[in-house]
Amino acid sequence: MRGLFAGGTLCAEAELIAREALGEAAGSFTDFGDDAFTRGRPHPMIDPGPRLERLAADADDPACGVLLLDVVLGHAAEEDPAARLAPLVTRARRNGAHVVISLCGARGDPQDLARQARALNDAGAAVFASNAAAARHAALLATPAKTPSPPPAPAPPSPGEPPPGGGPLLGPGPPSAPGPGGG
């Protein structure tokens, strides 16, 4: 599993959950908002360039079975994160990797929460309203001995509202060719 995060707290939470489930096999987790990545450049919520470059490399890596990302919406965030992420999600899925996204936003965010969720799901990602739920789902996907069931179909939330309990905003996306199980 490879975790590529814009938010440090979300990264730490996902890594903790994955390590509890998978131990050292949990893979790597990178906080692109860390000072090492932001010296002299905007935070990745505004300029996702370095994270997108890494996502492109991981999407083409046959050893990468699961990609876990956060997408944070709001007034200080990128205008349309799904527009730049969706082609890379599709590429990763085409190469056999699972993509799981925690989408942190609210109705009224300028990026339109529901539109972002649909675009990412249409590209092949499993989209969750809860970072913890996304991390647990990614850990299941990264467990070689288990083949998880797809997340349950969510009850349709009010437009732009996450479902109760942070469950999947949308299901796991279109099927792809089977890929490697680990990270």
pLDDT digit string, tens, across residues 112-160? 999 999 999 999 999 999 999 999 999 999 987 555 556 655 545 555 5
Residue 148: CATH number of its domain: 3.40.50.261
Q: Per-residue pLDDT for 170 more than 50?
A: yes
Q: Is 109 inside any structural domain? A: yes
How many CA atoms, within 13 angstroms, populate the side-chain half-sphere of residue 112?
10
Query: Residue 173: which pLDDT band, with cuts at 50, 70 and 90?
Result: low
Tell me the H-state helices in 28-166: 35-38, 49-59, 81-94, 113-123, 131-142
Question: Whole-number mean pLDDT of the chain?
Answer: 87
Distances (CA, A) of 32 to 5, 10, 41, 115, 169: 6, 11, 11, 24, 24
Q: How confident is the model at residue 90 (pLDDT cuts 50, 70, 90)?
A: very high
At 132 the pLDDT is 98
Overall number of domains in the chain: 1
Q: 63 lies in a domain?
A: yes
pLDDT digits (tens, 9 = 90+) for 35-55: 999 999 999 999 999 999 999
Residue 106 lies in a domain: yes
pLDDT in tens, 12-38: 999 999 999 999 899 999 999 999 999
With contact defined as beta carbons under 8 Å apart, do 69 and 55 qualify? yes
Q: Does some domain include residue 71? A: yes
Instruction: Place 177 in a pLDDT band, splitting at 50, 70 and 90.
Output: very low
More confident site: 5 or 158: 5
Q: Evaluate whether residue 183 is within a structural domain.
A: no
Give the integer Cα–Cα distance in Å for 156 and 162: 9
Does position 106 have pLDDT exceeding 50, yes or no?
yes
The Cα 30–Cα 183 span in angstroms is 13
The percentage of the chain sitting over the pLDDT mark of 90, rounded to a whole number, equals: 75
Residue 144's pLDDT is what? 72
**Distance between CA atoms of residues 145 and 156, nearest Å:** 32
Instruction: Tell me, yes or no, whether 7 lies in a domain.
Output: yes
Tell me if 176 is assigned to some domain: no
By residue range, what is the domain housing residue 126?
2-170
The answer as to whether 180 is a domain residue is: no
